[in-house]
Structure 1
């Protein structure tokens, strides 16, 4: 029997992976979307389970928002040292899975010097980690419009924070992305922030549901305004009753996903459509074992 070398083993693995993915992604049109999921949706899963699910369900990437209860990825055993980060990156790359985004908790609206420094420091640590992982993006939050400071002051603080982080990232291959989140989901406010923070290492995550639920703007109009800045997209679905929303499986709710995705396709968006199942914040919703494998199947309806 011929000896099985590491190179031949990798070829066999790659062939099997190609077969698995071709089956998982069948049913899409000729332009298959790049699908990812956020670990926000599987807060108890191990790294092994995350990677196995990504491969078998037909994903191309994983977005890390915490791992096994630790939201600060720079403190997680899978990422804490350069060697650990390199090992994790290699494990995912060997299975054809990109680590596409790191979700920090950094907030840029703070005026208090101590809070501001702490949040900017977290974002810098995430940028350093992303560079080690060959990960293109780090997410930061806007996040609030505090009543004790003017709106203009808050928007300026957020813009300046983005510029500071963009400058920090400019010697790397990482781009800092502001997510449409919290009290800043109106397109006019986001445009104002991003126009002031124009930088080659700064962009936007369009969370389709957040913007639609919080501000009554048509997705096509939102996309028209934000297109120059969008680098990454968050997708989730929900039903709204009595002013409250209940997350449901993709395609089973009221979010205007088709209008948003049609706008993205027409605009030749080629980034990731990342499934953000908010299981960590809403433990009563369906388990990730149901929701995460369902997403690629549901997305076929939009492509």
Structure 2
């Protein structure tokens, strides 16, 4: 029988301990989702405030939907010149943060040529910016189904817009993502659009609550039909009080939000879970300092407890 001397024992024990520590931290890292938040929730913060807050609260990324109420990001100081873009990217890198998505206001449903071109041009400027700052996604809207236009004609316009933007983004690392939003929140409509657009540079932002609050379609039904198109998500919660929807902190509403989150996680979704606290549109809701911190805490607790 071969005996192990004390020196060999200590070396072996140290190696096993290191492997155990490395393995456990790897597993923890692997199991934790990528968290980001939309700047829609902090409309009055400077860019420096945004990234400092994100870093200090251990977020992985930031979804930029305006800075200090300027929604056209190409007009924001941080992205207005090549020098400023370089400086902004450097700040993000220093904080260990990534851009998860750029939220444009571009809507694909417009029929009027002038309005349509304006929206398409905005989306193209966002694609160009995303490529420069190594952001994987830009968001566009479907958005409305005007009563005075035949429904399928509007859906065709949305498909054409996405196809044009997908072609524009071809050869870049940027995906153009249609958010489930406005009057296009039913699975059948979104599936039809995604199948017709049929581009590797086109996909979806799954806003779970936007869909469920209108359609009440179960997350499992939605996800089974749309999962191959989903590259980014918007996470939020709400409840109905006296017939009106009111946003709540995550987990305090009545939506099946964690059912959707778990579907994503268990299927291997590797995109961001991005908190969309709509403070810009709803100034009466809680301050971002409270809501965004609460989001990160609840998400991390949920994944530690359930996975």
Partner of 1:87: 87
Helix, strand or coil for the counterpart of 1:228? helix
What do residues 158-193 of structure 1 show as CA deviations (whole Å, max 9, x unaligned)? Answer: 011001001101121111000000111111100011
Partner of 1:123: 123
Cα contact 1:185–1:210 (8 A) shared by 2: yes
Instruction: Give the deviation of 1:93 after TM superposition.
Output: 1.4
Partner of 1:298: 298
Alignment of 1:63-82 (within 5 A): 63-82=63-82
Partner of 2:205: 205
What do residues 235-276 of structure 1 show as CA deviations (whole Å, max 9, x unaligned)? Answer: 001111233211111111111112101211221101000000
**TM-score after normalising by structure 2:** 0.88
What do residues 192-251 of structure 1 show as CA deviations (whole Å, max 9, x unaligned)? Answer: 111100100000000011111011100111110110100001000111123321111111
Partner of 1:51: 51
Partner of 1:9: none
Deviates more, 1:254-263 or 1:186-195: 254-263
Equivalent-residue separation in structure 2 for 1:227 and 1:48 (angstroms):
35
Partner of 1:271: 271
Equivalent-residue separation in structure 2 for 1:245 and 1:29 (angstroms):
36
Deviates more, 1:30-39 or 1:198-207: 30-39
Deviates more, 1:114-123 or 1:28-37: 28-37
The runs of at least 4 aligned residues of structure 1 exceeding 4 Å deviation read none
Helix, strand or coil for the counterpart of 1:205? strand
RMSD over aligned Cα, in angstroms?
Answer: 1.3
Alignment of 1:1-303 (within 5 A): 31-303=31-303
Instruction: Give the deviation of 1:29 after TM superposition.
Output: 8.1
Equivalent-residue separation in structure 2 for 1:302 and 1:153 (angstroms):
43
Equivalent-residue separation in structure 2 for 1:105 and 1:171 (angstroms):
23
Equivalent-residue separation in structure 1 for 2:264 and 2:301 (angstroms):
15
Equivalent-residue separation in structure 1 for 2:30 and 2:193 (angstroms):
36
Cα contact 1:143–1:181 (8 A) shared by 2: yes
Instruction: Give the deviation of 1:294 after TM superposition.
Output: 1.2
Equivalent-residue separation in structure 2 for 1:58 and 1:245 (angstroms):
30
Instruction: Give the deviation of 1:48 after TM superposition.
Output: 1.0
Helix, strand or coil for the counterpart of 1:217? coil
Unaligned runs of 5+ in 2: 1-24
**TM-score after normalising by structure 1:** 0.89
Equivalent-residue separation in structure 1 for 2:243 and 2:134 (angstroms):
41
Unaligned runs of 5+ in 1: 1-24
Equivalent-residue separation in structure 2 for 1:101 and 1:258 (angstroms):
22
Equivalent-residue separation in structure 1 for 2:30 and 2:198 (angstroms):
34
Equivalent-residue separation in structure 2 for 1:252 and 1:261 (angstroms):
15
Helix, strand or coil for the counterpart of 2:252? coil
Cα contact 1:53–1:293 (8 A) shared by 2: no
